[in-house]
Amino acid sequence: MKKEKELVGVKEIARRANVSIATVDRVLHNRVGVSPKTKEKIIAIIEELNYKPNILARRLASKEILKFAVFIPSVSEETDYWAAPLEGINQAETEITTYGIEIEKYFFDQNDKKSFLKESKKILNNKYHGILLAPMFIEESIDFVKECMKAKTPCVFINSDLPDISNLCYIGPDLYHSGALAAHLCGYLIGKEEKILIVNISKEIDNHHHLLRKEQGFKEYFEKHQKENIIIKLDIRDTNYKAVSEELTKAFSNNKIELVFVTNSRVSSVAKFFDENQIDNVKLIGFDFLKENIEFLKKETIDFLICQKPIEQGYRGVMALYQHFVYNAEVEKIYHMPIDIITKENYQFYRN
Out of 18-32, 35-49, 75-89, 243-257, the most confident range is: 243-257
Out of 64-78, 176-190, 204-218, the most confident range is: 176-190
Residue scoring higher pLDDT (240 or 78): 240
> What local confidence, expressed as pLDDT, does residue 308 receive?
94
- Residue 180 clears pLDDT 80, i.e. is over it: yes
Residue from 139, 99, 140 nearest 123 by CA: 140
Q: How far apart are CA 320 and CA 314, in angstroms?
A: 10
Q: Mean of the per-residue pLDDT values for the chain?
A: 90
Q: 3-state DSSP call for residue 234?
A: strand
Share of the chain above pLDDT 70, in %: 92
- Residue 54 clears pLDDT 60, i.e. is over it: no
Q: Which tens digits make up the pLDDT trace of 187-228?
A: 999 998 899 999 999 887 666 777 889 999 999 999 999 988
Q: What's the whole-model pTM score? A: 0.81
Please report the beta strands in the chain, taking only residues with DSSP state E, as ranges in sequence order.
Answer: 66-73, 101-108, 130-133, 155-158, 169-172, 195-201, 231-236, 257-262, 283-287, 304-307, 334-336, 340-342
Residue from 66, 62, 60, 67 nearest 29 by CA: 60
> What local confidence, expressed as pLDDT, does residue 284 receive?
98
Share of the chain above pLDDT 90, in %: 68
- Residue 82 clears pLDDT 80, i.e. is over it: yes
- Residue 153 clears pLDDT 80, i.e. is over it: yes
- Residue 114 clears pLDDT 60, i.e. is over it: yes
Q: How far apart are CA 159 and CA 88, in angstroms?
A: 13
Q: How far apart are CA 267 and CA 15, in angstroms?
A: 61
- Please name each of the domains of the chain with its CATH number: 2-62 (1.10.260.40), 66-173+310-337 (3.40.50.2300), 175-307 (3.40.50.2300)
Q: Which tens digits make up the pLDDT trace of 283-321?
A: 999 999 999 999 999 999 999 999 999 999 999 999 999
